Amino acid sequence: MQDIKIQMTNITKVFETQSMETHALKGIDLTIRSGEYISISGPSGCGKSTLLSILGLLDEATSGTYMIEGHDVTKLSLAQSAAIRAEKIGFIFQQFNLIDELSVFDNIALPLQYSQQQYSAQEITQRVEQCLECVEMLHRKDHRPNMLSGGQQQRIAIARALVANPAILLVDEPTGNLDSKNGDAIMDLLEKLNNDGTTICLVTHDPRYADRASIHYNLLDGQIQKAQEPLREAV
């Protein structure tokens, strides 16, 4: 059996304000195995961002259990969440969130420099260059992000997400700031990374892109359903 990277059991999230309660997630069961590429899509307000925030340890569930690579991460202190997030989760957002004052190389090296693991300068160079090669941007390592096109900047953001060798890539509307040609190229790159073994969870409202994952879930009113069975060999 493939290793389980992510396991959520009966996750709920209730937002309480003075006047009302919003049940944003209503009992999510989600298992993501090593090497899978899953997508989650659904209409505005269905709970996508809330689910992604909990998956990425940016927010806590109200109830339920969340395990990453067999470790219970349901209830952690802020410092513990930050450490596990840095080690286990690679984020890719619609905004590239690169630092224009730093070179492409230094942007990608940043997560390693802040990691609790000690990386030598040689390891950092090796890892950063490997990730730059992966996204076909090694020739731009000394550039500043603002000298690059949107599609190229997203490639750099993907390299940065990969650099600490995370358990999973959480990808939130990665093509939102790109035209369709560059958007398609980024989706091709994600597919290539998955073919090379990277586990991916993509959140998108775009059905065209959601269908490119091997397992597609629909989130509807805080509940999740599999939209499409993965292809299985005939028995």
Ligand X SMILES: Nc1ncnc2c1ncn2[C@@H]1O[C@H](COP(=O)(O)OP(=O)(O)OP(=O)(O)O)[C@@H](O)[C@H]1O
Residues 174 and 94 sit within 8 Å (Cβ to Cβ): yes
Q: Which is nearer to ligand X, 14 or 110 (CB)?
A: 14
Q: Which is nearer to ligand X, 45 or 230 (CB)?
A: 45
C-alpha span between 103 and 165 (Å, rounded): 21
Q: Which is nearer to ligand X, 49 or 223 (CB)?
A: 49
Residues 198 and 230 sit within 8 Å (Cβ to Cβ): no
C-alpha span between 40 and 85 (Å, rounded): 20
What is the closest distance, in whole angstroms, from the C-beta atom of residue 228 to ligand X in the complex? 19
What is the closest distance, in whole angstroms, from the C-beta atom of residue 149 to ligand X in the complex? 26
Q: Binding segment for ligand X among 47-55, 115-123, 141-149, 153-161 (CB under 6 A)?
A: 47-55
Binding-site string for ligand X from residue 23 to residue 42, where x marks contact by CB under 6 A and - marks none: -x-----------------x
At 29 the three-state DSSP class reads strand
Footprint of ligand X on 157-216 (CB under 6 A): 205
Q: Which is nearer to ligand X, 40 or 89 (CB)?
A: 40
| Structure tokens, 133 | 């090669």
What is the closest distance, in whole angstroms, from the C-beta atom of residue 222 to ligand X in the complex? 7
What is the closest distance, in whole angstroms, from the C-beta atom of residue 165 to ligand X in the complex? 28
In terms of C-beta density within 10 A (0-12 exposed, 13-18 middle, 19 or more buried), how is residue 209 classed?
Answer: buried
Among 39, 41, 50, 204, binds ligand X (CB under 6 A): 50
Q: Which is nearer to ligand X, 143 or 205 (CB)?
A: 205
Residues 8 and 37 sit within 8 Å (Cβ to Cβ): no
Residues 169 and 39 sit within 8 Å (Cβ to Cβ): no
What is the closest distance, in whole angstroms, from the C-beta atom of residue 138 to ligand X in the complex? 35
- Contact partners, residue 145, CB within 8 Å, separation at least 6: 96, 98, 99, 100, 102, 104, 107, 153, 156
- Contact partners, residue 187, CB within 8 Å, separation at least 6: 174, 175, 209, 212
85 binds ligand X (CB under 6 A): no
Among 2, 45, 72, 146, binds ligand X (CB under 6 A): 45
Among 44, 113, 117, 180, binds ligand X (CB under 6 A): 44
DSSP state of 3: P
What is the closest distance, in whole angstroms, from the C-beta atom of residue 39 to ligand X in the complex? 14
Number of residues near ligand X (by CB under 6 A): 13
- Residues forming the site for ligand X (CB under 6 A): 15, 17, 22, 24, 42, 44-50, 205
